[in-house]
Chain A
């Protein structure tokens, strides 16, 4: 575990090193400022409350879209993986939505629902659901029929069956969907904010893009990357290792 952590730190330090070298080579802070040049403005943004405010707005949207996309995606994926009839009917929809560019869905949601929070979260959720469905469906197809028969014969209640028989078999697939999902979701949230919201990281990036302020774009983008890394380390990874405990015991 410490080896693992050390490798992570060194690897992150290498990215920082690359940045420093790149900044030295361009030697133009308006194109690529060195990391140390951002510390002052970063502190100013934090102290003024500007950065925490927009960070929070984006985080709330990510959380909403994540929870909605995961729960709807798991439900549809399980249905499609266990019911061939449903799979036949829903598969064409899945293919259409998988191939619809994120940008098109975002624009259409804004046009149809309006420039509001509902449209923003709907757009992100709709973008993510097909991926979750595809992964979870794969998991549901590989559910063990013998275990299902066992649970039925012993008359395990429906909820207990879901919790102790089905979900543990789906857990690796759900974890894969969640990890890939959270990254994709926050990228799409930025696009949504860039196009039609007046707060959030994406909005600030849009603003500083128009001012050609590379430094501020980097500050906002990277601070959110840090938050997402923390979320992964604090929630996703511990949860994953807890549900995987029986494999390594």
Chain B
């Protein structure tokens, strides 16, 4: 069970979030829909445990994975190392199997900079799923992609979620994405923002 309760989050005197409550059952997929700039990323950073300066408490599993808007890869390490370094103790064979699953087996030894943007995003997805996370956080992962690539990435994400069954928290401003990946849709609105 994942329990999120943010009583208050402020940057200086500006209150960004107030009175947020969200529970996720294991394997449940929740989409948080909200316009740009409402505080979605702030909310995600709190859930992910990156931002700890807030009032409230979050109960989260240890094994979390995250996919950002950008691939956010270690550009100075090989594609394979991008998977193994972020998962200490992961057998190299599992990492290779995951790369095979996303169609990048041949690129294991390349640096991310040698890959196309679409391939880099697939590496980011492979990195997210290879550790079989209990909670997967997706921060607008398909924004800024052209429609064809976005469709390809959404389909791949869907099938990977179906295989690993993590609880999913997706944040987006696109309703179609929210409806497609989420079982339950909540909206983040207002100033300070809250869930409705």
B84 CB to closest chain A CB, in angstroms? Answer: 10
B161 CB to closest chain A CB, in angstroms? Answer: 18
Asked if A153 contacts B113 (CB within 8 A), the reply is no
Known contacts being A149-B45, A160-B85, is A154 close to B50, with CB within 8 Å?
no
Determine the distance from Cα of A177 to Cα of B123 in the docked complex, in whole angstroms: 34
Known contacts being A153-B64, A249-B111, A249-B113, is A160 close to B88, with CB within 8 Å?
yes
Asked if B113 contacts A246 (CB within 8 A), the reply is yes
For B131, give the chain A residue with the smallest CB separation: A154
Partner of A168, one of B45, B68, B76, B113: B76
For A156, give the chain B residue with the smallest CB separation: B86
* 0/1 interface trace, chain A 150-165, chain B, CB 8 Å (1 if under): 1111111100100011
A147 at interface, CB cutoff 8 A: yes
For A247, give the chain B residue with the smallest CB separation: B113
For B124, give the chain A residue with the smallest CB separation: A150
B77 at interface, CB cutoff 8 A: yes
Interface residues of A in 124-178 (CB under 8 A from B): 144, 146-147, 149-157, 160, 164-165, 168, 171
Please indicate the chain A residues that have their CB under 8 angstroms from the CB of B108 in the complex.
none
Asked if B86 contacts A151 (CB within 8 A), the reply is yes
Partner of A156, one of B64, B66, B88: B88
Determine the distance from Cα of A169 to Cα of B90 in the docked complex, in whole angstroms: 25
Q: How many residues of chain A get a CB closer than 8 Å to chain B's CBs?
A: 21
Asked if A153 contacts B66 (CB within 8 A), the reply is yes
B132 CB to closest chain A CB, in angstroms? Answer: 13
B16 at interface, CB cutoff 8 A: no
Please indicate the chain B residues that have their CB under 8 angstroms from the CB of A164 in the complex.
74, 77, 81, 85
Partner of B48, one of A144, A153, A156, A157: A153
Known contacts being A152-B50, A153-B64, A153-B66, is A249 close to B72, with CB within 8 Å?
no
Our count of residue pairs bridging A and B at CB distance below 8 angstroms stands at 61
Please indicate the chain A residues that have their CB under 8 angstroms from the CB of B85 in the complex.
156, 160, 164
For A147, give the chain B residue with the smallest CB separation: B72
Please indicate the chain A residues that have their CB under 8 angstroms from the CB of B48 in the complex.
149, 152-153
Please indicate the chain B residues that have their CB under 8 angstroms from the CB of A155 in the complex.
62, 64
Q: How many residues of chain B get a CB closer than 8 Å to chain A's CBs?
A: 27
Asked if A154 contacts B72 (CB within 8 A), the reply is no
Determine the distance from Cα of A58 to Cα of B127 in the docked complex, in whole angstroms: 50
Please indicate the chain B residues that have their CB under 8 angstroms from the CB of A154 in the complex.
64-66, 86-87, 127, 131
Asked if A146 contacts B72 (CB within 8 A), the reply is yes
Known contacts being A160-B85, A249-B113, is A153 close to B72, with CB within 8 Å?
no
Please indicate the chain B residues that have their CB under 8 angstroms from the CB of A249 in the complex.
110-111, 113-114
Determine the distance from Cα of A189 to Cα of B65 in the docked complex, in whole angstroms: 51
Known contacts being A153-B137, A249-B111, is A146 close to B88, with CB within 8 Å?
no
For B82, give the chain A residue with the smallest CB separation: A164
Asked if B111 contacts A153 (CB within 8 A), the reply is no
Determine the distance from Cα of A147 to Cα of B76 in the docked complex, in whole angstroms: 12
Asked if A246 contacts B76 (CB within 8 A), the reply is yes
Interface residues of A in 193-240 (CB under 8 A from B): none
A240 CB to closest chain B CB, in angstroms? Answer: 13
B70 at interface, CB cutoff 8 A: yes
Known: A149-B50, A153-B64. 4 other contacts (CB 8 A): A152-B49, A153-B137, A160-B88, A164-B74
Q: Which residues of A contact B (CB under 8 A)?
A: 144, 146-147, 149-157, 160, 164-165, 168, 171, 243, 246-247, 249
27 example contacts (A-B, Cβ-Cβ < 8 A) are as follows A144-B72, A147-B72, A149-B66, A150-B66, A152-B48, A152-B49, A152-B50, A153-B48, A153-B49, A153-B50, A153-B64, A153-B65, A153-B66, A153-B137, A154-B86, A155-B64, A156-B85, A156-B86, A157-B88, A164-B77, A168-B74, A168-B77, A171-B76, A246-B77, A246-B113, A249-B110, A249-B114
